[in-house]
């Protein structure tokens, strides 16, 4: 039975909890810790202390108790990882947090006793990161890892308070640039997926294995966007899915009859490579309806993938049942890499804008057009160019357009897989210029 001793000093009331136990060799040990009550009355404090003592004794006998007087921040990080992080975070999150701890936090405060880590220590880490030129978002990622460890220590009653709660973080700089397609641009992008793109290859001399030289004349080649990439970007725009969720799709997640896709899993990067995991949040498990033409594209691609699978025969490195195969694949049938869609998206924007630039140059040299007609044509072509955004901004585009055109926040939040509607508003609730003009017109009509 644990012993409880009440201690009163200038710092307040604490309780010393002591537990004796016998190790595997039959030797008795005594281990103690300090409990800081949160209640004010002595009776309530004692009740808290007794409840803590029972739990502490259980942890001692299970080999999970810590000696508060000796454990360092670095050593406690191991306890945090093994007893909390692996049970509450995804594998990729554990690795990200551990990387932040190993690179910055542990070198700074790792050798300090856990109970002696002060707010000033945490603030010094923040200040050093800012001084090193780290962006506010990057600084906050390091702080998030540190906070996770110290918050767990506080919950386990190993420290009186979490010192991270007292620090000042650098202010986030709001990016005013537009990082989504408006409705016109979204339509241009979808049409761009069907276009043919012309590439001019210059002539060159090539050295053969025997040392001889072969001249290759210049030539023009026409390329189209592969069907599975067209499907990927169309579904990304209409569904607003995360990249990892889409790479995680198997054909059994696609319901052609009901025109729905179910998010059951996602792909994330780990130290061992890319691996399947549960969606980012509980709300990430969801079934979304998409327009029928999306499923026409999916069906076309499924048929093409089935034919391709049969052509590879024994070289196919995925399930023998197409329903259990990934929707988006590599050449050998394995799941598409997380890197592939982003690289392809960047190329498509470059191809499209490059083609528009060529048309603009042609229009500038067209002597059959009057100066005014030429200016109109060039302006029209300029409006067809697309802003250079990230692949993730297709998700941003999907949510932004839904909100801008009247879909309620709860529905949009569900489609995004967010845990709270407030998260959706924080991320996607910015005004679109066209909607601001609409708001002005509404007020003009009401008050004019």
Q: What is the residue-wise DSSP string for 230-294?
A: HHHHHHHHHH---HHHHHT-BGGGEETTTTEEEE--EEEEETTEEEEE--SSGGG-EEEE--HHH
Cβ-proximal residues to 364 (8 Å cutoff; 6+ apart), any chain: 374, 378
Angle at 193 between CA 187 and CA 194, to 5 degrees: 105
Supply the pTM of this predicted model: 0.65
Judge whether 259 lies within some domain.
yes
- CA dist 122 and 63 (Å) reads 30
Is 236 found in the same domain as 302? yes
Is 151 found in the same domain as 88? yes
Judge whether 67 lies within some domain.
no
- CA dist 94 and 23 (Å) reads 32
Q: What is the DSSP letter of 397?
A: H
Collapse the DSSP code of 329 into the 3-class scheme (helix H, G, I; strand E, B; otherwise coil) and give the result.
Answer: strand
Judge whether 209 lies within some domain.
no
Is 42 found in the same domain as 18? yes
Is 353 found in the same domain as 261? yes
Number of folded domains that form the chain: 3
Is 86 found in the same domain as 50? no
With beta carbons less than 8 A apart as the criterion, state whether 202 and 210 touch.
Answer: no
CATH code (residue 371): 1.10.443
Is 79 found in the same domain as 53? no
Cα four-point dihedral sign 271, 275, 280, 282? negative
Judge whether 53 lies within some domain.
yes
Output the pLDDT for position 302. Answer: 97
Is 335 found in the same domain as 242? yes
Output the pLDDT for position 397. Answer: 93
52 to 150, 224, 443: CA distances (angstroms): 19, 67, 61
196 to 223, 294, 300, 362: CA distances (angstroms): 6, 21, 19, 18
Judge whether 150 lies within some domain.
yes
Is 341 found in the same domain as 259? yes
Task: Give the pLDDT of the chain (448 residues) as one tens digit per residue.
Answer: 788 888 887 767 888 888 887 766 666 777 777 777 776 788 888 888 888 888 878 877 776 555 555 789 999 999 899 889 988 887 788 888 999 999 999 999 999 999 899 999 999 999 999 999 898 989 999 999 999 999 999 888 788 889 999 999 998 776 555 589 999 999 999 999 998 877 677 788 888 888 888 888 887 878 889 999 999 999 999 999 999 999 999 999 999 999 999 999 999 887 778 888 888 778 999 999 999 999 999 999 999 999 999 999 889 999 999 999 999 999 999 999 999 999 999 999 999 999 999 999 999 999 998 999 999 999 999 999 999 999 999 999 999 999 888 889 999 999 999 988 888 887 776 666 666 666 767 767 777 6
Is 274 found in the same domain as 133? no
Judge whether 399 lies within some domain.
no
Nearest to 69 by CA among 37, 35, 33: 33
Judge whether 300 lies within some domain.
yes
CATH code (residue 141): 1.10.150.130
Nearest to 224 by CA among 352, 316, 125, 379: 352
Among candidate residues 129, 150, 166, the one where a domain is terminated: 166
Q: Max alpha carbon distance in the chain (Å)? A: 102
Collapse the DSSP code of 433 into the 3-class scheme (helix H, G, I; strand E, B; otherwise coil) and give the result.
Answer: helix
Nearest to 399 by CA among 372, 425, 373: 425
- The HSE-up count of residue 205 (CA atoms within 13 Å, CB side) is 4
101 Ramachandran zone, left/alpha/beta (phi>0; psi -120 to 50): alpha
Among candidate residues 61, 87, 102, the one where a domain is terminated: 61
Among candidate residues 124, 142, 166, the one where a domain is terminated: 166
Nearest to 350 by CA among 244, 199, 203, 201: 199
The alpha carbons of the chain give a radius of gyration, in whole angstroms, of: 30
Nearest to 397 by CA among 271, 234, 258: 234
- CA dist 205 and 374 (Å) reads 40
Cβ-proximal residues to 208 (8 Å cutoff; 6+ apart), any chain: 214
Is 338 found in the same domain as 280? yes
Output the pLDDT for position 194. Answer: 93
Is 100 found in the same domain as 46? no
Is 388 found in the same domain as 271? yes
Give residue 277's domain range. Answer: 227-392
Residue 429, H or E segment: none
């Amino acid at each position: 039975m644990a012993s409880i001793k009440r201690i009163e000093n200038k710092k307040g009331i604490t309780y010393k909890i002591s537990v004796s136990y016998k190790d595997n060799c039959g030797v008795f040990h005594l281990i103690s810790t300090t409990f800081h009550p949160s209640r004010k009355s002595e009776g309530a404090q004692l009740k808290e202390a007794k409840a803590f003592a029972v739990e502490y004794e259980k942890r001692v006998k299970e080999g999970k108790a810590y000696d508060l007087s000796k454990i360092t921040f670095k050593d406690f990080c191991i306890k945090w990882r093994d007893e909390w992080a692996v049970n509450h975070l995804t594998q990729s999150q554990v690795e990200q947090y551990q990387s932040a701890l190993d690179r910055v936090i542990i070198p700074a405060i790792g050798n300090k006793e856990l109970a002696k880590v002060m707010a000033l220590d945490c603030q010094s880490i923040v200040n050093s990161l800012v001084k090193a030129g780290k962006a506010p978002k990057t600084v906050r990622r390091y702080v998030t890892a540190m906070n996770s460890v110290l918050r767990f220590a506080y919950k386990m009653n190993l420290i009186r308070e979490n010192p991270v709660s007292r620090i000042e973080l650098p202010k986030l700089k709001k990016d005013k640039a537009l990082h989504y397609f408006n409705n016109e641009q979204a339509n241009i992008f979808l049409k761009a997926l069907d276009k043919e793109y012309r590439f001019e290859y210059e002539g060159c001399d090539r050295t053969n294995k025997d040392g001889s030289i072969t001249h290759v004349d210049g030539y023009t080649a026409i390329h189209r966007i592969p069907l599975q990439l067209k499907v990927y970007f169309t579904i990304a725009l209409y569904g607003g899915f995360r990249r990892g969720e889409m790479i995680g799709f198997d054909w059994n997640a696609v319901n052609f009859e009901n025109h729905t896709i179910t998010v059951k899993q996602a792909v994330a990067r780990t130290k061992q490579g890319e691996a399947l995991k549960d969606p980012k949040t509980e709300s990430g498990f969801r079934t979304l309806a998409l327009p029928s033409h999306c499923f026409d594209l999916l069906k076309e691609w499924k048929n093409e993938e089935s034919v391709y699978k049969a052509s590879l025969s024994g070289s196919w490195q995925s399930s023998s049942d197409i329903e259990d195969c990934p929707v988006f694949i590599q050449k050998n049938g394995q799941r598409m890499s997380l890197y592939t869609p982003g690289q392809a998206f960047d190329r498509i924007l470059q191809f499209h804008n490059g083609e528009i630039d060529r048309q603009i140059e042609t229009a500038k040299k067209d002597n059959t057009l009057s100066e005014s007609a030429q200016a109109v044509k060039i302006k029209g072509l300029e409006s067809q160019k697309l802003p250079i955004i990230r692949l993730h901004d297709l998700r941003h585009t999907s949510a932004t357009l839904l909100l801008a055109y009247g879909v309620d926040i709860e529905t949009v939040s569900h489609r995004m897989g967010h845990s709270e509607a407030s998260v959706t508003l924080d991320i996607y609730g910015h005004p679109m210029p066209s909607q601001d003009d609409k708001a002005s017109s509404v007020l003009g009509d009401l008050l004019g």
